Chain A
Amino acid sequence: MFFFFLAFLLLAARDGSTTGYILCAAVPVMIFLGTHLLPRLFPADDLLLSLVNFLCALGILVLYSTNPEAAWHQVVAYGAGLIAMILCILLVRSLSFRRGPVLLLLPLSLILLALPLVAGREVNGARSWIALGPVTVQPSEIVKVFSAVLFAYLLARRRYLAGLFYLLACLALLMLQRDLGTALIYYGTALFLCWISTGNWPVTLLGLAGGCGTAVLGYQMFAHVRRRVEAWQNPWQDYRNAGYQVAQGLMAIGSGGLFGTGLGMGAPTAIPVYTSDYIFAVICEQFGLIFGLCVLGVYAALIWRGASVAARARRGFHSLLAMCSVLFLGLQTFIIVGGVLKLIPLTGVTMPFVSYGGTSMVSSMSLAGLIQGVASLNEDDLEDEAHLTRLGR
């Protein structure tokens, strides 16, 4: 809370604007309420909540330093995400995941994924957005939450073929939208989850081989895939076109050094799409590599916590649900950070909780809510066992 108070105070003093001072007080209060008050009202994991709130507040801070209007939109998105998280907690705790309602999610997910192909608009080469009045929504982000429930349900009941068909349908629709980053997230999550639930190495390796084969096929068939790979290999070769974003991101990270150029300093607006895809580069430029590593450490702690929640679940469905949510968040983080750092070819996905984007914020908070729901069930089971143990005294 002290960190955000100080940071917003500095930015408010720079601008002299009232909104900055309001955020200076509101964000720490929001973190306090979200971390300490919320668990009293709803069963929630304290550490998970703290980490999520830190990342959300960091996103608002970085957006305010570069684009104050986007910061206010992000605050509204955070509020919506908080409501979605609470709903997901209550969903996991209260509702039964019966066959009928869960399997209704299957056609609903595919319809949502197909919507952009019919009535969507193209943004940055991908046709993955639909306009609902003044708001644009990315259905693939919402379908992530549905897919977490579906994958967990189907794998818990050993309906492997149904899970495979659903995955293939999702991948096909995402490839048609040219949203390769999201397709990669879906594929990686399903592959890891299959290995976790079955422990079957041959099938997992077969899936991995299939994915690699598809990637090679995609490289051969699609020109935009070739451009992305070439920009990844040598962004300086075509600095002004295909390699511009990658090169600008690398220069921003490099110019930040260990401690950064300073909050509100540097030239983050020179990076294309700096509010969503390249927000990690902005963080590294302004706060430095040490702080950037700390942000990655926070994500690692989040994934560790989620995995331990999944490991302690009593039922296979809950365990797979938590694990699937963790995999979605973890893989998305790896893909975007890896792309920014030129570890892997860049794909257009957002950084969970931090990047600008209402749908991304809501879906990330919903996935966190699913993990929270399973964590609260684990606490219930521990209390039951403690009671049974007390009976034995």
Chain B
Amino acid sequence: MSAELFEVLSLAARYLFALLGVLIVLRAFLWLLSDGATARSGRRRSRDSGCIGEMVVLSGSPALPEGTIIPVPWEGSLGSVRSCDVVVPCQGVRRRHLWFSWEDGSGLKIQPLSGCEVSVDQLPVDCRSWRKSSPMVHGSFLQIGSALLRLRVFAGLDSAAGFPEDAAAFGAVGMQQSPLPPSPGVPAGPDSGLSDPVYTDQHAGMFFPPAPPYPGDPGQGLPSDPAAGLSPVFPSGSPVSPGQQFPPYGADPFLSEQQPAGADPVFSDRQSCDEEPLLTGRRHPYAPDSASSAPRPSSRGADPAPRPARRRRSQQRNDRWEEDWSE
């Protein structure tokens, strides 16, 4: 090609190249905006995306009233300042009080910062003993400063309670998807012996296995951990210090009169899987009684799809994180 012809073609092509460049950039940004919109709509559909559960405030402060629900992400910090992932503006809570991290197959590991103390299920945990302490599981209580929180874990997440291989057999339900029709809740009343945080309409779709009773219920206590040699945490008397004020569990603010009496807990059939020995050797708080040991078909109708194999990779990944925490 002659130099003159090339020069003409090159000068003509530069306008095309500029146009193509603009089109490429525009397409890239439109792609970004489209992906962002898709991600936002996905987060709106699944409001609990990125969370492993939530903390329910049983005793708080004027800034954190009872009944407040605080979403709990996979890992983060808890403290009184707004920059923390879980904000607990109560007396005795430091600006950054502790770090937490979810470990599949174990639970929510708590690491208090230096000089900060908390108690998990009435067992004190500080910055020196956190590695040996048991992680929080569904229904665990966290005493931090003047606040008392209780953990709800979304169904389907691996924890010390074990994960049902076949969710359909246990009627397990997953994370909240809005909107969902209201569903039967747990039986209300202090006589049930299985006092559960009751579901508000906002959480109509969320189901949790019956949680261990709140300390103070006579005759009901968390089981002991033979490995730790600890006696049951809750003797017949109040396990808490006389000065501490906790709402009696029967007056749980979440107890709603709308809950139909006598309705079976949705997860009652899940208890049958808890007869398996646990990793820690501790008898599971949700140990079934003889009346509810039979598995019950899902109340949701069609069986959910079997868990995909991809779940195993995430489980393996989180197992490795569990080892990191033990270092």
A-side residues, CB < 8 A to B, are: 2-3, 6-7, 10, 13-14, 16, 47, 50-51, 54, 93, 96-99, 158, 199, 258-265, 287-288, 290-291, 294-295, 297-298, 301, 304-305, 308, 312, 314-316, 377, 380-393
**Residues 1-36 (chain B) with a chain A CB within 8 angstroms:** 1, 6-7, 9-11, 13-18, 20-22, 24-25, 28-29, 31-32, 35-36
Residues on B with beta carbons closer than 8 Å to the beta carbon of A265:
7, 10-11
Checking A47, A290, A383, A391 against B35 with a beta-carbon cut-off of 8 angstroms, the contacting residue is A47
Q: Is B132 an interface residue, CB under 8 A from the partner?
A: no
Whole-angstrom distance between the alpha carbons of A51 and B29 in the complex? 11
Whole-angstrom distance between the alpha carbons of A297 and B29 in the complex? 9
Contact A387 B10, beta carbon cutoff 8 Å: no
Known A16-B1, A47-B35, A315-B321; contact A291-B74, beta-carbon cutoff 8 A: no
- How many residues from B make CB contacts under 8 Å with A? 63
Contact A294 B174, beta carbon cutoff 8 Å: no
Binary A-proximity of B294-319 (CB < 8 A = 1, otherwise 0): 00000010001101101101100100
Contact B314 A391, beta carbon cutoff 8 Å: no
Binary A-proximity of B173-186 (CB < 8 A = 1, otherwise 0): 11111001000000
Q: Is B289 an interface residue, CB under 8 A from the partner?
A: no
Residues on A with beta carbons closer than 8 Å to the beta carbon of B167:
391
Residues on B with beta carbons closer than 8 Å to the beta carbon of A385:
46, 49-50, 175
Whole-angstrom distance between the alpha carbons of A288 and B15 in the complex? 9
Whole-angstrom distance between the alpha carbons of A102 and B160 in the complex? 29
Contact B10 A10, beta carbon cutoff 8 Å: yes
B-side residues, CB < 8 A to A, are: 1, 6-7, 9-11, 13-18, 20-22, 24-25, 28-29, 31-32, 35-36, 39, 42, 45-46, 49-50, 73-76, 83, 99, 154-157, 167, 172-177, 180, 205, 300, 304-305, 307-308, 310-311, 313-314, 317, 320-321, 323-324, 327
Whole-angstrom distance between the alpha carbons of A322 and B323 in the complex? 22
Contact B176 A392, beta carbon cutoff 8 Å: yes
Contact A262 B7, beta carbon cutoff 8 Å: yes
Residues on B with beta carbons closer than 8 Å to the beta carbon of A381:
50, 314
Task: Give the A-B contact count at a CB cut-off of 8 A.
Answer: 166
Q: Given A298-B28, A380-B313, output 10 extra A-B contacts at Cβ < 8 Å.
A: A7-B13, A14-B6, A50-B28, A99-B324, A261-B14, A264-B10, A312-B39, A383-B308, A388-B155, A391-B173
Residues on B with beta carbons closer than 8 Å to the beta carbon of A315:
74-75, 321
Residues on A with beta carbons closer than 8 Å to the beta carbon of B31:
47
Residues on A with beta carbons closer than 8 Å to the beta carbon of B99:
158
Known A301-B25, A315-B75; contact A98-B20, beta-carbon cutoff 8 A: no
Checking B14, B16, B35, B317 against A96 with a beta-carbon cut-off of 8 angstroms, the contacting residue is B317
- What is the minimal beta-carbon distance from A351 to any residue of chain B, in angstroms? 16
Known A264-B6, A301-B29; contact A259-B175, beta-carbon cutoff 8 A: no
Q: Would you mind naming 20 contact pairs between A and B with Cβ atoms under 8 Å apart?
A: A6-B13, A13-B9, A259-B15, A263-B13, A290-B21, A291-B17, A294-B22, A294-B24, A295-B21, A298-B24, A316-B76, A377-B317, A385-B50, A385-B175, A386-B46, A387-B311, A388-B155, A388-B175, A392-B175, A393-B300
- What is the minimal beta-carbon distance from B326 to any residue of chain A, in angstroms? 11
Checking A7, A54, A98, A158 against B17 with a beta-carbon cut-off of 8 angstroms, the contacting residue is A7
Contact B324 A98, beta carbon cutoff 8 Å: yes
Checking B36, B176, B324 against A308 with a beta-carbon cut-off of 8 angstroms, the contacting residue is B36
Known A14-B1, A290-B18, A315-B74; contact A392-B324, beta-carbon cutoff 8 A: no
From A97, A290, A312, residue with most partner B Cβ within 10 Å: A290
- What is the minimal beta-carbon distance from B72 to any residue of chain A, in angstroms? 12
Residues on B with beta carbons closer than 8 Å to the beta carbon of A264:
6, 10
10 A-B pairs closest in CB distance: A388-B174, A391-B174, A262-B10, A96-B320, A294-B21, A297-B25, A392-B174, A392-B173, A301-B28, A3-B20
Contact B13 A262, beta carbon cutoff 8 Å: yes
Whole-angstrom distance between the alpha carbons of A234 and B125 in the complex? 63
Residues on B with beta carbons closer than 8 Å to the beta carbon of A96:
317, 320-321, 323-324
- What is the minimal beta-carbon distance from B103 to any residue of chain A, in angstroms? 11
Known A199-B83, A290-B22; contact A6-B308, beta-carbon cutoff 8 A: no
Residues on B with beta carbons closer than 8 Å to the beta carbon of A377:
317
Whole-angstrom distance between the alpha carbons of A316 and B16 in the complex? 45
Checking B156, B175, B305, B327 against A99 with a beta-carbon cut-off of 8 angstroms, the contacting residue is B327
Whole-angstrom distance between the alpha carbons of A281 and B7 in the complex? 20
Query: Residue on B with the closest CB to A4?
Result: B20
Residues on A with beta carbons closer than 8 Å to the beta carbon of B317:
96, 377
Query: Residue on B with the closest CB to A391?
Result: B174
Known A54-B24, A294-B25; contact A314-B17, beta-carbon cutoff 8 A: no
Checking B14, B320, B321 against A263 with a beta-carbon cut-off of 8 angstroms, the contacting residue is B14
Residues on B with beta carbons closer than 8 Å to the beta carbon of A291:
17-18, 21
Whole-angstrom distance between the alpha carbons of A3 and B300 in the complex? 54
Residues on B with beta carbons closer than 8 Å to the beta carbon of A199:
83
Residues on A with beta carbons closer than 8 Å to the beta carbon of B20:
2-3
Residues on B with beta carbons closer than 8 Å to the beta carbon of A47:
28, 31-32, 35
- What is the minimal beta-carbon distance from B94 to any residue of chain A, in angstroms? 15
Residues on B with beta carbons closer than 8 Å to the beta carbon of A383:
308, 310
Residues on A with beta carbons closer than 8 Å to the beta carbon of B16:
6
Residues on B with beta carbons closer than 8 Å to the beta carbon of A260:
14, 17-18
Contact A288 B175, beta carbon cutoff 8 Å: no
Contact A304 B32, beta carbon cutoff 8 Å: yes
Residues on B with beta carbons closer than 8 Å to the beta carbon of A308:
32, 35-36, 39
Contact B32 A298, beta carbon cutoff 8 Å: no
Whole-angstrom distance between the alpha carbons of A316 and B101 in the complex? 10
